[in-house]
């Protein structure tokens, strides 16, 4: 059969944000693909150079609608380090709680999306219903459901009275049982297992070579988690462990995320039961001395990096954002080749792509001749190997 071009995106039911895959398929098997990860440019990096630190924070919050707290926290912690101030313990605890709640709602969202991509709408509805509960807690605690606006340079903007904290605890507690139910469903539902097992397989070596991060990397046995490797906020004093898995496929990524849900829920409860007293915001100078700081953060999707440069004024000289999705694209492109057309949605969804993060500095690239920044020959070679594997698995 002749190769046909299947355009997936920029508008497609499988995609929640604009990205374009131009997929050449031989019948149902992907032969090669080109990727275009743009369409969402808002010029945020340029904008961040033109505002003072306090006005940059709300701007960065709008990089992403899911991991909004990640972007403000990683920036605030970098600027605080450059200013040589430290957020008070209570502020750090509050930031950690919001960060973990964000991870819970992001992973629940992901679980639903992954189920929806393989047509399992029941799980999709169930997880999103529980995600509502998390968002209600976030709204009660911060005042907002999406862009929480809790962070400030030097601390947080809102203190939590004890009754609010106990209400939040009551609402978070039942979620553990729900997550256990989903873990059970993922492990036992045959049709879902059939769609997740062996799909989007990446070995440990491939993950490292392609620079994948977060649950995508940890599902292939790569033991990187910034929360432990470069501890920030309260992670060093909290009881938790890094979840890894050695399946290396979509099932592995699911198991890692479900495991992280348990860890996060546990951390939230430990923190909320024993919030440190005291101030919530340190006094910070207006300007930051010249310097540079590589601020790393474990966002729900993986390692988020802001490379910050200050020049002695009240504005950053450079905020260079590397989002987890940006790091994961190369691995996606490699995992897709030689797979079935039907696997595209679930493999792409498995890295939990956040396109508005990735293309915050992007406009459009309809040509997109290069796929994943690899050479033709390399791609061809990988393609042949993956193709052979795909054939073999049939």
Which residues from 236-265 bind other proteins, rule CB under 8 A? none
Which residues make beta-bridge pairs with 302? 299
For the record, the structure tokens of 104 come out as 């819970």
What's CA 319's distance to the chain center, in Å? 19
Q: x/- site string to other proteins, residues 345 to 364, per CB under 8 A?
A: x-------------x-xxxx
Per CB under 8 A, the segment of 150-158, 237-245, 253-261, 311-319 that binds other proteins is 311-319
Nearer to other proteins, 187 or 209 (CB): 209
Contacting other proteins within 196-215 (CB under 8 A)? 208-211
381 binds other proteins (CB under 8 A): no
Strands in 20-26's sheet, in edge-to-edge order, are 3-8, 20-26, 29-36
DSSP string of 182-223, one letter each residue? HHHHHHH-HHHHHHHTTTT---HHHHHHHT--HHHHHTTT--
Per-residue x/- marks for other proteins, 31-70, CB under 8 A? -------x--x-x-xx------------------------
The CA distance from 197 to 222, in Å, is 19
Q: Which of 229, 285, 381, 388 binds other proteins (CB under 8 A)?
A: 229
Q: Output the CA angle 115-385-367, nearest 5 degrees.
A: 70
CB of 275 to other proteins, least distance (A): 28
54-62, 96-104, 262-270, 335-343 -> range binding other proteins (CB under 8 A): 335-343
Contact 30, 24 (CB under 8 A): yes
388 lies in the binding site for other proteins (CB under 8 A)? no
Whether the bond between 10 and the residue before it is cis, its omega within 30 degrees of 0, is yes
369 binds other proteins (CB under 8 A): yes
Q: How many CA atoms lie within 13 A of 359 on its CB side?
A: 20
Question: Does 329 contact other proteins by CB under 8 A?
Answer: yes
Residue 187 lies near other proteins (rule: CB under 8 A): no
* Piece in contact with other proteins (CB under 8 A), picked from 60-68, 245-253, 270-278, 342-350: 342-350
Query: Please, which residue, 112 or 149, has the CB nearer to other proteins?
Result: 112
Interface with other proteins in residues 139-168 (CB under 8 A): none
Alpha carbon distance 245, 238 (integer Å) = 22
């Amino acid at each position: 059969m002749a190769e046909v071009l299947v355009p997936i995106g920029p508008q497609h039911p499988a995609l929640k944000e604009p990205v374009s895959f131009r997929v050449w398929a031989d019948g149902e098997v992907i032969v090669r693909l080109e990727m275009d990860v743009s369409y969402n440019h808002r010029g945020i990096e340029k904008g961040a150079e033109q505002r003072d630190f306090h006005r940059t924070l709300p701007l960065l919050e709008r990089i992403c609608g899911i991991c909004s707290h990640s972007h403000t926290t990683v920036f605030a912690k970098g600027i605080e380090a450059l200013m040589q101030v430290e957020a008070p313990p209570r502020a750090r605890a509050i930031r950690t709680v919001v960060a973990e709640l964000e991870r819970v709602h992001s992973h629940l969202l992901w679980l639903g999306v992954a189920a929806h991509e393989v047509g399992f709408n029941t799980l999709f509805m169930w997880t999103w219903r529980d995600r509502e509960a998390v968002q209600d807690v976030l709204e009660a605690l911060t005042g907002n459901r999406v862009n929480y606006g809790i962070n400030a340079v030097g601390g947080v903007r809102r203190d939590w009275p004890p009754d609010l904290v106990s209400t939040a605890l009551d609402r978070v507690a039942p979620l553990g049982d729900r997550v256990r139910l989903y873990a059970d469903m993922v492990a036992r539902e045959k049709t879902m297992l059939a769609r997740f097992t062996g799909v989007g397989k990446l070995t440990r070596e491939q993950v490292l070579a392609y620079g994948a991060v977060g649950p995508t990397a940890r599902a292939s046995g790569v033991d990187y988690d910034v929360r432990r490797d470069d501890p920030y906020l309260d992670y060093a004093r909290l009881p938790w462990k890094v979840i890894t898995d050695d399946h290396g496929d979509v099932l592995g990524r699911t198991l890692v995320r479900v495991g992280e849900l348990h860890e996060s829920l546990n951390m939230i409860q430990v923190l909320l039961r024993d919030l440190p007293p005291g101030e919530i915001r340190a006094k910070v100078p207006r300007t930051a001395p010249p310097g540079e700081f590589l601020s790393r953060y474990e966002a729900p999707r993986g390692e988020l990096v802001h490379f910050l440069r200050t020049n002695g004024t009240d504005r950053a000289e450079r905020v260079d954002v590397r989002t987890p999705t940006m790091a994961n694209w190369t691995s996606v492109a490699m995992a897709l080749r030689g797979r079935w057309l039907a696997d595209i949605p679930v493999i792409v969804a498995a890295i939990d792509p956040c396109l508005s993060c990735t293309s915050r500095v992007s406009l459009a690239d309809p040509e997109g001749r290069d796929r994943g920044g690899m050479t033709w020959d390399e791609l061809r070679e990988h393609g042949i190997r993956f193709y052979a594997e795909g054939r073999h698995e049939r």
